Amino acid sequence: MNENATTTPRRNPTLNAYRTGLRRGLISTRIMLTSTSDILSTVVPIAVFIAVLLFMQRGTFEGAEVGLGAMSLPGIIAMGTLFSAVMGITGVLAMDRTNGSLLRSKSVPGGTTGYLVGEITANAILSVAQAVLVLAVGLVLFEELEFGSPDRWLLFAAVVLLGLIATLSIGAVVGALVNSPKNMGLVMLPMMGLIGISGIFYPLVALPLWLQWLAQVFPLYWFGLGMRASLLPESMVTVEVVESWRIEWVFMVLIAWTVVGLSLAPKLLSRMARRESGSALAERRRSIQQDWGV
């Protein structure tokens, strides 16, 4: 054996891809925070949410001990996180399939994994920042909120983290199925319908019974319920379905959606990446040029 021979340290390719993705995500976040268009795309939704809260500040709901604005704040945080996670990941994947970024990532070992981890990381950071900013504004506007104990902080953090993972995994699944930016409307319409029936702006019990059952199938209602349990006075539980926060169900449903999303997303994203090719990219661009006239 040659004593002068040097050994090259072995690296785990998957771990290396994740590390590269995390670095990419941090770089993407820094770029977003210095880009006017990206800043506006983040600030404008927050401004809209704050405007809604101000508009609802003096509203009331019959039988409730807090104002409509305070009652809606937890749901608005959940809605903003869902919208940012699902539409953010879906939009990025659709655009990068069109501009060739996803195709170029295939040329590097572990490049597709690193690309996806990077985009998810950047989206997660911005989603958390948005949730914290809206929460801070809400705590200033609404004195009725109860957020002064460690158990409330822990519940808020746990629900946001689990809800974010669930919605990001859903976004990855949807993004793997949407092959062009022109199809984003097919995602937006169901999202708006889901927001409308999930008790974001009014208690779910105000809806017909069949809509209540439908809303409880999806994670947004449970995400919002967990937020309400962490922010609203205990007396507000009386306006909830079965007059209970159902914390155990909040975690079970969000975990179930997380498991489904994380099970499907890698398979669909791998299939999507395998199908990317120069000819598919050219065809996609021609289709967009014909439809949009660009």
Q: Can you tell me the distance from the alpha carbon of 115 to that of 113, in angstroms, rounded to the nearest whole number? A: 5
Backbone phi and psi for residue 277, each to the nearest 5 degrees, phi listed first: -155, 165
What is d(CA 61, CA 199) in angstroms, rounded to the nearest whole number?
13
CA distances 26 to 19, 21, 133, 164, 191, Å, are 11, 9, 19, 18, 28
Q: What confidence tens digit (pLDDT) does each residue in 237-252 have?
A: 888 888 889 999 999 9
Give per-residue pLDDT as tens, 265-275. 777 777 776 76
pLDDT confidence of 11, banded at 50, 70, 90?
A: low
Residue 224 burial class via C-beta count within 10 angstroms: exposed 0-12, middle 13-18, buried 19 and up: buried
Quick check: 249 and 222 in contact, CB under 8 A?
Answer: yes
CA-closest candidate to residue 259, choices 195, 165, 133, 138 = 165
Q: What digits encode the pLDDT tens for the residues 108-146?
A: 656 667 777 788 888 888 888 888 988 998 888 888 888
Question: At CA 286, angle to CA 284 and CA 290, rounded to 5?
Answer: 120
pLDDT given at position 257: 92
- How long, in residues, is the chain? 294
Torsion of CA 263, 248, 161, 265, to 10 degrees: 10
Q: Any residues with CB less than 8 A from the CB of 148 and at least 6 apart, and which?
A: none
DSSP 246-266: -HHHHHHHHHHHHHHHHHHHH
Strands, E assignment, the chain: none
Over residues 200-211, mean pLDDT: 84
pLDDT of 280 above 70: no
Q: Domain coordinates of the chain in residue numbers?
A: 14-272
